[in-house]
Each structure stands twice: as structure tokens, then as C-alpha cells.
Amino acid sequence: MGHAESSNGGNADFKNMPGETGNARRGLPNTVLDHSYRDFSSWRSNCCKAFVVSIEVDDWKGMLKKLGAPYVVVTDRKDSWQGLELDITSKVTPGLTYAVSASVAVSVPCNDVLATLRLEDGGCSTNYMRVGRISATMEEWRILQGTFTLKTLLERVIFYLEGPSPGVDLFIRSVVISCSSPPSSCKHSLCDKAGEENIILNPTFEDGLNNWSGRGCTVVLHDSMADGKILPQSGKGFAAASGRTQTWNGIQQDITGRVQRKLAYEATAIVRIYGNNITSATVQATLWVQMPDKRQQYIGISSVQATDKDWVQLQGKFLINGSPEAVVIYLEGPPAGIDILINNFKVKHAAKVAPLPRPAIENIIYGLNAVQNSDLTDGTNGWFPLGNCTLSVNAGSPHILPPMARDSLGDHEPLSGRYILVTNRTQNWMGPAQIIKDQLKLFATYQVSAWVKIGPGASSSQNVNVALSVDDRWVNGGQVETNDDRWHEIGGSFRIEKQPSRVMVYIQGPGSGVDLMVAGLQIFAVKRQARFRHLNKQIDKIRKRDVSLKFAGSAGGVSLGCPVKVRQISNSFPIGSCINRTNIDNEDFVAFFTKNFNWAVFGNELKWYWTEAQQGNLNYQDADDMLDLCEKNNIDVRGHCIFWEVEDSVQSWVRALSDKDLMTAVQNRLTSLLTRYKGKFIHYDVNNEMLHGSFYQDRLGKDIRAEMFKKAHQLDPSATLFVNDYHVEDGCDTRSSPEKYIEQVLDLQEQGAPVGGIGIQGHIDSPVGAVVYSALDKLGILGHPIWFTELDVSSANEYIRADDLEVMLREAFAHPAVEGVMLWGFWELFMSRENSWLVNAEGDINEAGKRYLKLKEEWLTHAHGLVDQQGEFRFRGFHGTYEVQIVTPSKTVSKTFVVAKGESSLVLSIDM
């Protein structure tokens, strides 16, 4: 192989690079760097090796055949930051915007390539600016693009390409950097020093009210208020937004041109309120963004409960996906007539926080009951009454473990048959209690299990709850509703992630005067890996199929012993994600989404309050844009949702309608939406969260729910119509237990509603497989496909988050009634729950994201071997799309085929 080589930061002599074609070069005037034709001797390999592979020399690992052009190889990489770098200090000028385009590939797919600037400013510390990112492959060249602007003169500016995992080779065909805009006229501009500079001008009002204005109100500068009782926390003064007549009135600053797209920013403000007859109110920081097409976005950054007594800190993050025409940041929120006071406002590039390490759970015994004297062999020793109730021990409870506990613990000695009887209860929180702090381990996942029963005298159904008081914070360990004299299983789960000083478990719930009985309370740590082995056997049964490939065609020359290689391209099991309209302006988001998901659901853009916020003013453009993206990438879409039964989620103009006009509006909504998108959405959530809300039913009668299903089916017969609700799978909400859900579905069907699917949202904490699987088993008797429609898990520790996500995905994939999983987002700052994302705001994949990708890879089948005497090759593989490669003495043939669901062996003829 002929090449010039350098290592450990030496100069690399790159010559004879080919010309770049296509979009990378189009429309970029004033090119200041074009290393597609020119000499590459000025580039340096950064602690690795690099050389040129050209047409005249030997191919590098066979990549020339795949990529079809000469290129630079960057190899022997020991860390992700190692790559190529070039000093461009003399080529760039502060105030100008530069566009970067690089044609890249990698030796191992699913690796990101990053374009980065290293900024050195004399005595200041070195800082870094990300310019662009793309997920690269080994099959084709991909164009990494981005822009940057330097706001001040720097001592050195180094451009470099980095990013793939250690050991992965980076291939570069060309790099172009072009000036794409004239110098900026703004003298107050952001210096990109890794977030050190505040982009808010006059943040402490040292320059009066310059750069600030009122948003629908007046802004006044003060050095004190309320006869000197209100003074600035720091500095000489503060501003007040006064004369507010609307909640959205406040103080604002135009930050257009000082924020960069796809960068995460942290906003921090010191605020308080002032006004008559109010002591506290919510103050919110909001970003108003207008795009070049005049589309407007409102991004909620953060909120805080402010008071009239002290200054408080408001803090949050935001990111702009697209290229905005105008950006304004402002404070809003309190009721009309209340002043918003602000002492200081900062907006800086958000610092990256190092992830927490995987927690070490030491000396844990899985399956060991943390409850002492659970079998009551020592009377009530270890127990005490919570409140002025009376505890006694009786006999006659079940001797067997409740099913969910038995599922986790396996073979277990029988229960004692004794139970605690709680009498003289005068409050619903009264019951048996025990301190269990010393028996619990931080970060372990605990399953809760018990038999419970109520005494006679209850006039209605009663809730029974196993609860934990963790330093006076209530933790739900599971709930069940009972209205008879039978023993009922109660099951749930919890986790403690911060060291408590006190943990008390107690059983509560029934009303005053109702006796409570508790037997066999178990609280034990769950070993998830043991269950995974069981699930893998189930997965093999329901998600795989035996396949026999028969090679036909005499001309093909296929004979005994010909090598065969089978590679699965994609698994057909639906795993999708929630997306929002603003997300699709971010090419990094789109790349991850289209590569790693095969279904989509829109977060808000199909909901009635979004498509018709004001009566008669329809907005389907956002949904149209998102649907267009999905169709272009062969991604199926769920329709969420036609109606939402929870009153707080119904727009005010709909709530204000008379019953007659409301019925007309409901019919119009159905006709408008389902006629426009007929055949476009595979599923519809018809009336969201009917177990938790009843707005339409209360206003229009019980029959309206079934009528919604009937009308939807009439307008779009091809769509499967779903019910959809939350806390169905975790045992913590009696309103949405599996039994209640089954009852609701059967009632709808009795009224003629064409219910076709069961939606479990899946917003869950500390999941335990046996509890989740039990709910799925119960719902499975309905015979409808079950989907997790909004799955997310939350933990500040990425490893724990990854563990929880893995539990849910494996349980879903292993259950025969589950036919799909939708994540409720994956990108930081665009999730409904804190600490639930898989990818951070600027595109870095965290441990939960890596676990998700690892599972997707695990659920692909690859096989190789030789053609047998019958001219066949047999394997067992996951359902999905495959590529087979057969090597004969005369040629190599590649074909694609599909393994569909089926119980019998699949025999496929491969025509040679």
C-alpha cells in the first residue's frame, strides 16, 4: 500500500484528493478552504495515524470498492477526540459567518463524526465550539455540515474532525469552509468561549433600561421599592414590569443573532413579585422564536414560584432547532396587576455536566424481605399502629404468595396464614407501620407485594395502599381497590436514590370505621438479569421463526459447501418515538430518528387544541410537515389524539360552548381531521385518558364515547382505533387498573364501538417486570393488540435510566400481546419528563441511549455457514428484512428477503 504516514501529532502529507460534487459545494461563495483538490500537507493527525488512499494504490480494507473514490484514512485512534486538525487562524475573520461541508464515512456504522473548533485566546483557557455533527456509515459518503461565527479576534483557531468511537477508522473525502455572510454590524455580540460570555446585554441594569423593553406593559428602573423594604440582591438596581393586564405581559430582550441553533443555553434570572393581596405567583421564562417562513414558536424555559418576600432564582435550559429570523426572551406568568421584578438575567451556553457513575449496590441479597416479622410468628413485634388504631394478629389469610411476587421469587415457602387486623380506625391513613430504613439499599429496585382485605361496613369501594414515608416524602408502593370480603393482591415497586434518614412502610386507605387486614407483606430487591434469561426464551418463541433458504437456478452454480452469509437489515417489530414540529428543523435529530425508529407519533401537533386553538382557525401545517418527513423515510405514524377527555386539556373556546354547539364541534373535528388524513395514520387514539377524565361524557352523555369511535371508523375504516391511558401497568393507580381498563373496553364494545387496540402510555418509575407482565396478561384476554404508546423512564443516573428502559423494552418484546412500543421522545429539552432523554440537547448519546441501541442490535439476526446437500441453508431469526450473500465458484450473489410472522418454518426460494 503506497501512502505517506504520520502519527502522534505529526504532519500528514495528503495529496491528490478528488473533487467534491453535489450539494456540499453548491451555493458557498468566497471559499477560504477547499481541500478537495488541494494539497493536504498542512493538516495534522491528532495523536493517531493518517494517510491518503488513491485509485493508483492498494485498497484500504476493501473500503475503496464501497466508497468509490480516493480518501484520507485516519486510523489507530485510541480516543474519540482523535482525528485531523488544521490551523485556520489566518483564514477566518471575526464577525463573518462560515459554512463547513465535509464528506465523511467510518469503518463501523452508527458512529457520529463531529466538526469542532478549538479556540485559544492568549492567557484564557482553551475552549471548544461544535460546528456540526452527522451519523456516518461505511456504505456511503455523508455530508457533515454546519456554520460558525467568531465574535472576537483569537490567538489561534484550530478546525478538526473527530467523534467516532476508539478503534473506528475515519474516512474523509473533502473539506470545504466558505464565507457565507458579510461582517455583522452588531457591536454587542456573543464571544464563543464555551459559554463564558452572557448573551444578555445589560444584564444587571447598570446601563439603565438599555436593551430592555416591556412586553405589553411598562418597564421601570428602581433602586428600591416599598419604602426601602425591597432592595436589589446584587448591584445598584433592578427592573419592574408594571401595568400588567395579561399573564403574558412582562420584561423582554431581543437576542436575535446572539444565539446559535443546535446549542443548548442555560438561562438564570433573579426574580420576585410585588403587588397587593398576593404573596406568591409563578414567574416563567419564555422564548419567542420566529422562523423565516413567519412560523412562530413559544419555548417554555423554566418557571419558579416567586414571592413578595425574597429574591429567588429561576433557572432552565433551551435549544433552538432551526435558523430563526427573530428571537426574544421574556419573563411572564403572574396574574394581571402583579409586578415582575428582575435583578439579574444571564443566558450562557450550557456547560456539559459529567454523568454520574454507575452506582455500586453492595452486599445486597436479592429476594430477601425487608419487612421484619412479616409472617407474624412473633405477634405484632416490629409493627406499630399509625394513629390511634388497634393492631391484632388473626389466622385465616392465604398461604400462597401473591402471583406477582411468585413470578419474581419463584419457589418460596408458604405464607403463615396469619394477618394483621386493624380496628378502631378513625382516619384513612391509619394502619400498621414499620421502620425499614436499614434493610434498604440505595438504587436497588424493590418489589412490593401483599394480600389485603377490608372488613364489613363499607358503603362503597375502598382503596388500599402500601405507602412509604421517606423523610416525610410519600412514595407509592402499590394500590388496589376492593369492595368485597375477598383477599386481594396488591403489587408495586419503588426505588430510593438519595440517602434517607428514615423510611417507614405503612398500609392505609379505607375510610373511617372500616377494618383493614394485611397478610404476607413482602418488600424485596429484584434481580433483573435472572428475569431477562426467562424473557429471552419467550422472545425466541414469539419473535423468531425457522427459515430455510432454497437456492434455485442451475445457472447460479450453487453447490454443496458454497459459503452463505445472512445479515438482518431491520427488525419488523415497531419501535417508534414521539416527535415535535420544531425537532424536524434539526438535521441531527432527524438523522437519529430516521435511523433508529420505524414509527412516529406527534407530541402535540395533531391534538385539537393545536390544530384549532381558536374556533374556525385550522392549523394542519405542522402535522403536514411532520407527516411528509415520515412518509419520505417510510416511517408509519400513530394519530394522537382526536379528543382528550381530561378537561384541563380542552381548549377554552370548546369548554365555553353550549351542549348543542359542542356536539356540532365534535362532529366537525372528526370530519375535518379524518377526512384530511384518510389512510395516512395507521392508528388513532380516539379519546385520550378516559379513565382519568370525563369532559365530553359529562357534557354530551355516556354514548358520546362510543359514537366517537363509530364516526372515526366510518370516516377512515383503515385506521385501528385505540383507547389510551396511563398508570395501567405499574399498580399505583386504582382508577386505571387493568381490571378497570378491561371493564371500559368491554362497555365500549357493548355499545358498538369498534375498539381495535389497547394503548398503555408507560410513563413509569422503577419498573419491575413481574408487575408489568401481570398487567399485560390481564389485558391480553381482550384479544386486541397492546401498544406502549408513550413510554419513558426517569432517573438522574443514566445507568439506572438505562436499566429501567431495558426492563420495559424486554418485557414488551417478550409478551405475545404487545405489538409495538412508542417512546415519548428521546432528545433532551424535548421530553415531558425530566431526566428521561437518551440523547442530550447537542446530540451526545447517553448511557440510556446506548442501551437502547445495544438492544436493537441484539434483536437482529446474523448467520453464516455452507449450503447443505439439499441445496439449502437453515437458520432461526427475528422477523424482519434480511440480505443474503452466496458465494459460488463463478460469482457472488446478494438478495434481500423478508421473514414475516408465522409459527411454521418459512421456506424461501432464492433465485440465482
- Using CA atoms, how far residue 144 sits from 69, 78, 175, 177, in Å, is 17, 22, 9, 12
Residue 857's Cβ-count burial label (10 Å; 0-12, 13-18, 19+) is exposed
- Taking the mean position of all CA atoms in its chain, how far away is CA 307? 33
- Using CA atoms, how far residue 417 sits from 106, 132, 239, 487, 523, in Å, is 64, 66, 69, 12, 18
Three-class DSSP labels, 839-881: ECCCCCECHHHHHHHHHHHHCCCEEEEECCCCCEEEEEEECEE
Query: How far apart are alpha carbons 6 and 40 in whole angstroms?
Result: 13
Q: Which member of 197, 605, 689, 798 is catalytic?
A: 689
Query: How far apart are alpha carbons 304 and 274 in whole angstroms?
Result: 15
Three-class DSSP labels, 508-537: ECCCCCCCEEEEEEEEEECCHHHHHHHHHH
Neighbour tally for 228: CB within 10 Å: 8
CA angle 353, 593, 885 (to 5 degrees): 120
Neighbour tally for 439: CB within 10 Å: 18
Cβ pair 342, 314 in contact under 8 A: no
Neighbour tally for 76: CB within 10 Å: 16
Cβ pair 576, 599 in contact under 8 A: yes
Query: How far apart are alpha carbons 43 and 72 in whole angstroms?
Result: 11
Give all strands of the β-sheet with 156-162 in edge-to-edge order: 44-45, 84-87, 156-162, 111-120, 127-136
- Tell me the Cα Rg of the chain: 31
Cβ pair 90, 160 in contact under 8 A: no
Q: Which amino acid is at 828?
A: E
Neighbour tally for 793: CB within 10 Å: 26
Determine the 3-state secondary structure of 696 from DSSP.
helix
- Taking the mean position of all CA atoms in its chain, how far away is CA 906? 36
Query: How far apart are alpha carbons 52 and 70 in whole angstroms?
Result: 7
**Annotation says 120 is catalytic:** no
Q: Which amino acid is at 421?
A: L
Query: How far apart are alpha carbons 18 and 37 in whole angstroms?
Result: 6
Q: Which member of 790, 798, 842, 847 is catalytic?
A: 790
**Annotation says 140 is catalytic:** no
CA angle 806, 808, 809 (to 5 degrees): 65
Cβ pair 393, 419 in contact under 8 A: yes
Residue 219's Cβ-count burial label (10 Å; 0-12, 13-18, 19+) is buried
Terminal-to-terminal C-alpha distance of the chain: 35
CA angle 402, 404, 409 (to 5 degrees): 90
Q: Note the residue count of the chain.
A: 912
Determine the 3-state secondary structure of 704 from DSSP.
helix
Cell numbers for 27, please give them.
Answer: 451555493
Query: How far apart are alpha carbons 817 and 542 in whole angstroms?
Result: 10
Query: How far apart are alpha carbons 544 and 531 in whole angstroms?
Result: 19
Cβ pair 278, 296 in contact under 8 A: no
Query: How far apart are alpha carbons 249 and 92 in whole angstroms?
Result: 42
Neighbour tally for 894: CB within 10 Å: 10
- Catalytic positions: 689, 790
